[in-house]
Amino acid sequence: MFSKKMVMIVGVIAMMAVNIILLSVFNRRYISYYRPGRIAVSVIAPFQKASSKSIRFLRDIWYHYFFLVHVAEENDTLKKTLDKSFEKNIRYKEIQLSNSRLRSLLDFKKTMTDPVLSAEVIGTDPSPWFKTVLIDKGKEDGVRRGMAVVVPKGIAGQITEVSSHYSKVLLIIDPNSAVDALVQNDRSRGIIKGDAAGALIFKYVLRKHDISVGDIVVSSGLDGVFPKGLVLGQVSDVFKPKAGIFQEVTVRPYVDFEKLEEVLVVLNRKKPIEPSK
């Protein structure tokens, strides 16, 4: 089977050939002197006219349609090249962001007094009742239940389950989590617990302590799990009830738990305190 393009080319050539033959016959000098010649002109002229129009029509198709087809093909090629460049640019940007996070993690790692292990977050708990993530390090890497998990912006959580190569981390925004903490300025002490809204509640803080919005809350290190002085968050709300000995303090965590990608597991030199089952 011939392609449409080949058929059009053959048609143009055929029409040009017919036109040349007709012109040759018409231009012979003896045609103008004899009646048969004039008759021939009358017969040939309509065909020649039609041939000329056909040639012009085919020429226009060639220069417009096929030219546009060529332009379209070239446009497709350029579009594919642009798509590849865009894809490469996205990958390059992702590598840049990853390198930036890893540099930040490495710089933070240098400030830690305890040995730490880098890990990547590979999954999150879809349940709305638990705030946990899964990391790609486990028993074979030295990870144990009860170990602290941190990031450059502060404390992320605690290891609760461990397999050979993977571990589950209970985030500090989970209601089942608890971190012994204190206010950085006046050293007021209490327990940081998570709530269902993703914030932190600073519990058991005595009313006599003067805590203000904006104060920084850090880990006290007295729970034997989390290193001392790591950031937990910033006080966002303070309420002192008229009755009772404690005040109600809400803390906004520094860590963006929806964007956790790389973390550090603190490999405590002493045996970590395992969370209650």
Read off the tokens for 47.
């065909």
Cα–Cα distance between 137 and 144 in angstroms, integer?
A: 10
| SS3 label, residue 163 | coil
Residues 55, 15 contacting (CB under 8 angstroms): yes
* pLDDT tens per residue across span 214-258: 999 999 989 888 988 889 999 999 998 888 899 999 999 988 888
Residue with token string 């405590």? 268
What number of CA atoms fall less than 13 Å from residue 128's CA on the CB side? 2
pLDDT tens digit sequence for 67-103: 666 677 777 777 777 777 766 666 656 566 555 665 6
Token readout for 66 is 């096929």
What sign has the CA pseudo-torsion 202, 152, 223, 182? negative
Q: How many Cβ atoms from other residues are within 10 Å of residue 124's Cβ?
A: 16
pLDDT of residue 245: 92
| Residue 118 CB partners (closer than 8 Å, separation 6+) | 105, 109, 262, 263, 264
Report the share of the chain in percent with pLDDT over 90: 35
Residue 133 pLDDT > 90, yes or no? yes
Question: Could you say which DSSP state residue 72 is in?
Answer: H
Q: Are 15 and 51 a contacting pair, CB within 8 Å?
A: yes
pLDDT of 27 > 70? The answer is no
Rounded Cα distance between 227 and 218, Å, is: 10
Question: Which residue reads 């012979």 in tokens?
Answer: 28
Token pair 């490999």 is at which residue? 267
pLDDT at residue number 7: 59
Q: pLDDT at position 20, please?
A: 59
Task: Say what the pLDDT of residue 73 is.
Answer: 74
Tell me what pLDDT residue 30 has.
43
Task: Let me know: does 161 contact 142? Beta carbons within 8 Å.
Answer: no
